[in-house]
Chains A and B, each alone.
Chain A
Amino acid sequence: MPNPPDRIHSAAVHGAIGAIWRIESGRLIAGLARITGDLSQAEDMAHEALLAALERWPATGIPPNPGGWLMTTAKNKAIDAARRERNYQRKLALVADDPTGPASATDDLDDIVDRLDDHISDDLLRLIFTACHPALPLEARVALILRCLGGLSTEEIARAFLISDSTAAQRIVRAKKALVEKSIRFVMPTASEIEQRLTSVLEVIYLLFNEGYSATSGEDWMRPELCADALRLARLLAQLAPDEAEVLGLLALLELQASRLAARRGPDGSPVLLLDQDRRRWDRLHIRLGLQALAKAERLAARHVNARAAEGDTASLPYTLQASIAACHARAARAEDTDWRRIANLYDVLSQVWPTPVVDLNRAVATGMAGDPAAGLEILEAAASSPATSNYPQLPAVRAHLLSQLDRHDEAADRYRQAAALTRNAGERTTFLARADTEVALSVRDSGSDRSRPDGEFTQ
């Protein structure tokens, strides 16, 4: 049965409101938080304005300046709240007979509100730092940044993380409660705090992207919408903090990784590993934007490294390093043109500044591809000793790959089967089992004269 015309109109208006919300919510919440000093409260007010729009616009049509309408509506709510608060403060001041109390009440709130737009960049940056405050659990930071800056609805956050709407709603409520409980105010971090605070922000965006890039659970092993949300946040951050090497480094990394999204999925939906990808399907625009950001990150990093060296400190720029590695792949027109020596060297440095099992896995792969699979296996032994990797499917997969390079195909097949048993991802399991079969075939042939081409990338 066709929808009645007003229903269609209403659905179209709701779609348009959703789009306007995506564009405006960050600025709106940031501006409001500056008035109230309280992100949790600001988010409430912004949502009240959104609800008002959802209620009114289907009947009145979308106003000519919807962002302005939302801001005015929310500002009025903010001013009401501030006046209530101020009246309360004034009463308190009178009680305490504090002469400064009533005087401060004459400050012109409307003036402060009217000047909001002049500070939008600062406010957005403050919003990012507040939503990603390191005192908050990672889950809360992720929920807040998607909610406050990404403009995602509760339902969209639920879909992004494959959780129920009610779980997503609880996460947001808990995150906002944590802001209040930990007395996290809407203020810019001081110069001495900035590095640690920035690390926390970058961690959140990186996690968001990776969750989309290789989903840890579910039948769908990629969720490109989440990658797009992370990329958008990274682009915004790069505009707001254009002199931070690692911000540009992370942006470069995400652009370069995103360039491969289409090529990573085979016609049947299964993952296609880096060296098997059709490079003509890599997105040239993402690569161009990524290499641009990397060039800028490297310029800033050189300055950073020099400054640190002057203080006798070593610089640690893990995102820029990873972007440099991703760029090695992006620059190779064919898989066989890849500069594996340079990649292995970059991983050597990265494993010093960011010693994680995943980095060591990739370092082992790169070392093998640079012509030394035996050294790759040694690197792997060190990574395998970490308890964090005991159930990690990539560990046996990388070992299998190195063993295959050493023509130890029986052992390689066993390791691929082990990887298939460990992964929770259906597409990945299929790939590992297919590789195990290939190794068995190679072992049977035994001559090793027709080796299948090994792949080099497991985690990117």
Chain B
Amino acid sequence: MRYLVLLEGPQATTPPPPALMEAIARLGEEATMSGTLLDTAGLASGATGSQVSVTSGALRVTDGPFTESKELISYALYEVSSKEEAVEWTRRFMTLHKDLWPGWEGEARVLKVLGPEDFAPPR
């Protein structure tokens, strides 16, 4: 089963400490080696992106920047044997932020990607 982990936080005013980036890279290496991390990347600020919305039956394309206080910062896609495993990798990822970037706040959402197991035939 797959889980998508989305990291959200306030717009950073300073770049992340190099030690954090190095630790994240090491964790990513470890998760890749174990066969669980399929894909991960950081996301550019939403200001450089766009939104396509449907509101009251009307379609609208809006270019950034937007007014949200929080940004999507990165994503990671895991293939694991349980939700707990996805949570454990995410816990490690967030522990690095806690330990190596004092004062930083944010949250990672662990979302199940619907897969064949969610559409199993009735038995």
The reply to whether chain A is a binding partner of chain B is yes
Which A residues form the contact surface with B (CB < 8 A)? 15-16, 18-20, 22-23, 26, 64, 121, 224-225, 228-229, 231-236, 239-240, 261-262, 265-269, 285, 289
Using A121-B33, A233-B35, A236-B33 as known contacts, list a sample of 14 further A-B pairs with CB atoms less than 8 Å apart, ordered by residue number in A: A16-B87, A19-B84, A20-B88, A22-B80, A22-B82, A23-B34, A26-B34, A64-B95, A224-B116, A225-B81, A235-B35, A265-B116, A265-B121, A269-B121
Chain A residue with Cβ nearest B36: A232
17 A-B residue pairs with Cβ-Cβ distance under 8 Å, sorted by A, are: A16-B88, A19-B88, A22-B81, A22-B82, A22-B85, A23-B34, A23-B36, A23-B89, A228-B79, A228-B81, A232-B35, A232-B36, A233-B35, A236-B33, A269-B120, A285-B38, A285-B77
* A64-B95, A267-B121, A268-B121 known; A232 vs B34 contact (CB < 8 Å): yes
Judged by a CB distance under 8 angstroms, whether B68 is at the interface is no
Q: How far is B1's CA from A26's CA once the two chains are assembled, in angstroms?
A: 20
Chain B residue with Cβ nearest A262: B116
Chain A residue with Cβ nearest B38: A285
Q: From residue A67, how far is it (CB to closest CB) to chain B in Å?
A: 9
Find B81's partner among A229, A233, A235 (CB 8 Å cutoff).
Answer: A229
Q: How far is B80's CA from A22's CA once the two chains are assembled, in angstroms?
A: 9
Judged by a CB distance under 8 angstroms, whether B15 is at the interface is no
How many contacting A-B pairs (Cβ < 8 A)? 66
Judged by a CB distance under 8 angstroms, whether B32 is at the interface is yes
Chain B residue with Cβ nearest A237: B35
* A231-B35, A268-B121, A289-B38 known; A261 vs B116 contact (CB < 8 Å): yes
What are the residues of chain B within 8 A of A267 when measuring CB–CB?
121
Q: How far is B95's CA from A269's CA once the two chains are assembled, in angstroms?
A: 42
Those 7 A-B pairs whose CB atoms lie nearest each other, nearest first: A235-B35, A19-B84, A269-B121, A262-B116, A232-B35, A19-B85, A239-B33
Which B residues form the contact surface with A (CB < 8 A)? 1, 32-36, 38-39, 77, 79-82, 84-85, 87-89, 95, 115-117, 119-121, 123
Find A16's partner among B38, B79, B84, B119 (CB 8 Å cutoff).
Answer: B84
Secondary structure at the B interface, as helix, strand, loop or mixed, is: mixed
- CB pair A239–B85 under 8 Å, yes or no, is no
Chain B residue with Cβ nearest A151: B81
Q: How far is B117's CA from A239's CA once the two chains are assembled, in angstroms?
A: 27
Find A23's partner among B38, B88, B115 (CB 8 Å cutoff).
Answer: B88
What are the residues of chain B within 8 A of A235 when measuring CB–CB?
34-35
Q: From residue B107, how far is it (CB to closest CB) to chain A in Å?
A: 19
Q: How far is B1's CA from A233's CA once the two chains are assembled, in angstroms?
A: 15
What are the residues of chain B within 8 A of A266 when measuring CB–CB?
121
What are the residues of chain A within 8 A of B79 when measuring CB–CB?
228, 231-232
Q: From residue A376, how far is it (CB to closest CB) to chain B in Å?
A: 32
Q: How far is B90's CA from A310's CA once the two chains are assembled, in angstroms?
A: 50
Q: From residue A227, how far is it (CB to closest CB) to chain B in Å?
A: 11
What are the residues of chain B within 8 A of A232 when measuring CB–CB?
34-36, 79
Chain B residue with Cβ nearest A225: B81
Q: From residue A101, how far is it (CB to closest CB) to chain B in Å?
A: 40
Q: How far is B18's CA from A1's CA once the two chains are assembled, in angstroms?
A: 51
Q: How far is B55's CA from A319's CA once the two chains are assembled, in angstroms?
A: 52
Q: How far is B34's CA from A285's CA once the two chains are assembled, in angstroms?
A: 18
Q: How far is B84's CA from A265's CA once the two chains are assembled, in angstroms?
A: 27
What are the residues of chain B within 8 A of A18 when measuring CB–CB?
82, 84
- CB pair A15–B81 under 8 Å, yes or no, is no
Q: How far is B116's CA from A269's CA once the two chains are assembled, in angstroms?
A: 11
Q: From residue B7, how far is it (CB to closest CB) to chain A in Å?
A: 20
- CB pair B116–A23 under 8 Å, yes or no, is no
